[in-house]
Chains A and B, each alone.
Chain A
Amino acid sequence: LHLRRMEASCLELALEGERLCKAGDCRAGVSFFEAAVQVGTEDLKTLSAIYSQLGNAYFYLHEYAKALEYHHHDLTLARTIGDLLGEAKASGNLGNTLKVLGNFEEAIVCCQRHLDISRELNDKVGEARALYNLGNVYHSKGKNVASARTHDPGELPDDVKNALQKAADYYEENLTIVTELGDRAAQGRAFGNLGNTHYLLGNFRSAVLAHEQRLLIAKEFGDRSAERRAYSNLGNAYIFLGEFETASEYYKRTLQLARQLKDRAVEAQACYSLGNTYTLLQDYEKAIDYHLKHLVIAQELHDKIGEGRACWSLGNAYTALGNHDQAMHFAERHLEISREVGDRSGELTARLNLSDLQMVLGLSYSTNTSMMSESHVVENSLNGTRPRVGRRHSMENMELMKLTPEKVQNWN
């Protein structure tokens, strides 16, 4: 009788945990599942389901060490009771978790196991999902290796290229199956990540084609977050195709949706992208407008790194317009923030910008014998050959730069 009551209580707690997680409250769900584990059950299949859901809840809560622990328990249990489908699922979840933790080799083994079992059981849905997961692991692996090293844009090291190519192959294989199955949502996901893989490989036309498909499916479902993602990714691809006008149109749609979805961080990102795009279009007034919008949100969100980036961009844009006072103001702010966040390379850039500007201003104050000489000096020191090559050249080549702030920090 005591055992019966215990089983009932464990089930009740687990059912409440399930209900809460489905309702989106993973935090509360976790406490019910953990209470269920505390009570315990003789039924190993129920326990396996509890471990699996605990793992997923912790995954969604970004507590990956805990997620790893529970998916590992689930895998062990599934193997013990000889539940092959359960083992496949646990392997897939463990693989996804290991991927997020950066353990790509083990992640590949787990996702491959998910794939093998699904094929053995002739489970097409499971097979497709395992292929998608494998694509994601190889994509992350490629991106991770690429960002750990500095290399010239356009020339990817062989191992990075291989990993990304494998990712693309897995996404294609997944697409074949989910197209057969008529699973449009899964197609949408595969197109999105395939597009991003082509983007990293430098196949920007293929990236555009994939993201256009993603956009189409997002609209079919009325999935505005996915639609926004597609616009943003299309904007990025068009930048690298050198089609800045088209890129600006897609970034504007991203901005519009970000505002509708009330996502301030994404709104800031869209403004920043628009600022950069208008810089490439050499429309500095619009660039300033968007960079200022980005600055305001970065300050609101207490995003110091974003704020520093905004100041740096604003300094450059004002310099390009010849507004040296404003340029000076933002270069000073950039220096302050770089110091605050310990960005040594940013600090160095800001110092050089400041000394440049100080010189320009200093010269224009000391040699104001005539308008001619003043403008002559400014012309010399700012728009003359060398500084132009130094600063403006880098801005004009922005489309060639696939640099993340992490990479910039690696130059220290």
Chain B
Amino acid sequence: SQPMAGRQAAELQSKVVPSKQILHSDNMEMEPETMETKSVTDYFSKLHMGSLVYSCTSKRKNK
């Protein structure tokens, strides 16, 4: 009777648990995102250059 129980258990298993139940971890490794960057430094240096140009020209005008 016990091999019979074994068969029943096997049948139960095949009914309840999908045969797909294998824990294959699908661990795909993606590349990083690229973000677009803005900087106040670029703008600041332009601003700074602008005021430098301004002070030079105004000095020249004063002469």
- Tell me if A313 is interfacial: C-beta within 8 Å of chain B: yes
Across the interface, do A404 and B25 meet the contact criterion of CB distance under 8 Å?
Answer: yes
Residue interface mask B29-45, A partner, CB < 8 A = 1: 11111111111110110
CA of A411 to CA of B22, assembled, Å: 12
How far does the alpha carbon of A404 sit from the alpha carbon of B22 in the complex, in Å? 9
Most chain A CB inside 10 Å of its own CB: which residue of B32, B35, B43, B44:
B35
Cβ-defined partner of A49 (8 Å) among B2, B3, B43? B43
For the complex formed, measure the closest distance between the CB of B36 and the CB atoms of chain A, giving whole angstroms.
Answer: 4
Which residues of chain B have C-beta atoms less than 8 A from A199's C-beta?
28
Nearest B residue (CB) for A100: B33
- Judged by DSSP, the binding face of A is helix
With contact pairs A52-B38, A129-B36, A355-B9 given, residues A380 and B21 touching in the complex (Cβ less than 8 Å) = no
Indicate if the CB atoms of A394 and B9 lie closer than 8 Å: no
Check A356–B9 contact: CB distance below 8 A: yes
Cα–Cα distance between A192 and B29 once the two chains are bound (Å): 8
Specify the chain B residue showing the minimal Cβ separation from A393.
B19
Q: Does A248 contact B (CB under 8 A)?
A: no
A196 touches B28 (CB 8 A): yes
Besides the known contacts A52-B36, A273-B27, A408-B21, 5 further A-B residue pairs in the complex with CB atoms under 8 A apart: A114-B36, A190-B31, A390-B19, A394-B19, A404-B25
Interface residues of A (CB under 8 A from B): 11, 14-15, 18, 43, 45-46, 48-50, 52-53, 56, 59, 74, 86, 88-90, 92-93, 96, 114, 126, 129, 132-133, 136, 139, 186, 188-190, 192-193, 196, 199-200, 226, 228-229, 232-233, 236, 269, 272-273, 276, 309, 312-313, 345, 348-349, 352, 355-356, 359, 363, 377, 380-381, 384, 386-387, 389-391, 393-395, 397-398, 401-405, 408, 411
List 30 contacting pairs A-B, 8 Å CB cutoff, sorted by A.
Answer: A11-B44, A46-B43, A46-B44, A48-B38, A49-B39, A52-B37, A86-B38, A92-B36, A93-B36, A96-B35, A114-B36, A126-B36, A196-B30, A236-B27, A276-B24, A313-B23, A345-B21, A348-B17, A352-B9, A352-B12, A377-B3, A380-B6, A381-B6, A387-B6, A390-B19, A397-B22, A398-B22, A401-B22, A403-B22, A411-B18
